[in-house]
Amino acid sequence: MQLQLYRHYEPLEPDELAFLKRKEAKDRTATYRIVRVLMIFCFVIPYILSWFRATNGVPDPFSYQWYFTWVFYLLCFMAVCVYIAYHRTMRKLHLDIRNKTKTIERTLITRKQYVPHNNTYYFYLNSPTKLSIEVSQGDYYALDKGDEVNIEYTTYSNLYLGYF
């Protein structure tokens, strides 16, 4: 049984928007912490390299020009890496918060699985966005392979919000 891909957009509920804002705040603090550590490395690594230059007998191993040139290159490299990381993750989250929309997609259950180790139930889906979801025990026994289930996720960052 083939199901044509069906998606539509709805506004985010207040609790879902609050979840996205909490996630954005947590991710932002983690990003700032990583940037601070990388900036320290950008200043420490050229200093360590200067000591290696001194042990190799290079004349004027602690040159200001050499040191700040390498600090500049490392800061530029770090800035490009941070921009790419922001563009791939945080930017999409900001778009979700700004637009306040979620996507609802109708999918088919392709397989059911029970994991006895942690007593959880899963549906495998034919969705291009979400391959499997954890479901309640009641839904696991009520729905069968080939049944339709609707999943909700954020429009841009594809964060899973739930199913019905």
pLDDT of residue 144: 87
State the Cα angle at 16 between 124 and 158, rounded to 5°.
45
Backbone angles phi, psi at 127, to 5 degrees: -80, 140
C-alpha span between 2 and 132 (Å, rounded):
18
Which among 51, 82, 99 is the end of a domain? 99
Please name the helix (run of DSSP H) or strand (run of DSSP E) that holds residue 10, with its range, or none: strand 6-11
Are residues 30 and 66 located together in one domain of the fold? Answer: yes
CB 102 within 8 A of CB 154: yes
pLDDT of residue 94: 92
pLDDT of residue 4: 66
pLDDT of residue 2: 57
pLDDT of residue 21: 93
C-alpha span between 85 and 92 (Å, rounded):
11
Which among 73, 99, 125 is the end of a domain? 99
Are residues 93 and 60 located together in one domain of the fold? Answer: yes
Are residues 35 and 64 located together in one domain of the fold? Answer: yes
Q: Which residues of the chain have a pLDDT value below 50?
A: none
pLDDT digits (tens, 9 = 90+) for 133-154: 999 998 889 988 888 899 999 9
Are residues 85 and 118 located together in one domain of the fold? Answer: no
C-alpha span between 110 and 104 (Å, rounded):
18
In our burial notation (b when 16+ CB lie closer than 10 A, e otherwise), range 9-27 reads: eeebeeebeeebeebbeee
Amino acid at residue number 140: Y
Are residues 60 and 114 located together in one domain of the fold? Answer: no
Domain that holds residue 53: 12-99
Task: Identify which of 36, 43, 52 has the alpha carbon closest to the alpha carbon of residue 72.
Answer: 43
C-alpha span between 154 and 97 (Å, rounded):
9
